[in-house]
Amino acid sequence: MNIDDATLMAYLDEALDPQDAAQVDAALARDPELAARVARQRRLDARVRTSHAAALEEPVPDALVQFVLGHGAAAPEPAAEPTAAPSNVVAFPPRKRARTLWTHLGALAAGVVLAVVALPWLRGTGGADWVQGADGLQARGALAAALDDQLSADHAGKVQIALSFRDQDGQYCRAFRVESARTAGLACRGAQGWSLPVLARDAEHAQGELRQAASPLPPAVLDAVDARIDGDALDAGGEQAARKAGWR
């Protein structure tokens, strides 16, 4: 069985059939690196779920449902009327399958951290969104503005913020992606502004009118978040307070 990213995503979402899930279990037992990778995703998933539990349980907006139904998706079957249970039977609510970080931040796409010395698109000024400074890459332009002002819940615009957190040095960090550049990264706030310790080429993602609100992040970015995060990701209130304080 080929244990690709899509298979791992389905495995973490408990969407595989028992036979395929058993094959993934066997692969994890044989491959310590793969097992560590899955463990990192589960840890980060737990942190994000803890911070955004209320938001993750919100119903899908009616407008989005109507959009999907209007573009060829089959309408759901109406729920069957419940039947009266005998008095000696206790009715339990349906099991809710946990939604993982993979569902909300996208598939764990194949990616690689890009070295400034190796790739021309990161040399010099780096375009409109980052510049090479004495201490590494620094955010500027629309990216810097989004890191300063945009909340994770705001999905419109060129830059999308995936999550925000404090690192082990007490600095605020934010994972992001820049759709037009097909680039994702991690930014951490320092005395000179937002430094970019990690930039990764984003995987190919679906084009078209309808996109997931949460965008895919490459493994390099997720690994960097997992290595730096101290505690849980900020919830909406935490982000608003940090923004008001200038991320200091």
Helix 32-51 with 219-228: angle, nearest 10 deg: 70
Please give the C-alpha separations between residue 92 and each of 85, 96, 114, in angstroms, as whole numbers. Answer: 11, 11, 50
pLDDT attached to residue 138: 93
Count the residues in the chain: 248
- C-alpha 200 chain-centroid distance: 14
Q: How far, in Å, CA of 202 to CA of 196, rounded? A: 15
The type of residue at 22 is: A
Residue-wise pLDDT for 99-142, tens only, equals 444 444 443 333 333 333 223 344 444 457 888 877 789 999 99
pLDDT grade for 180, boundaries at 50, 70 and 90? confident
Q: Which residues contact 80 (CB under 8 A, 6 or more apart)?
A: none
Q: How far, in Å, CA of 57 to CA of 166, rounded? A: 24
Q: Cβ distance 188 to 175 under 8 Å? A: no
- Is the whole-model pTM more than 0.75? no
Q: Cβ distance 164 to 173 under 8 Å? A: yes
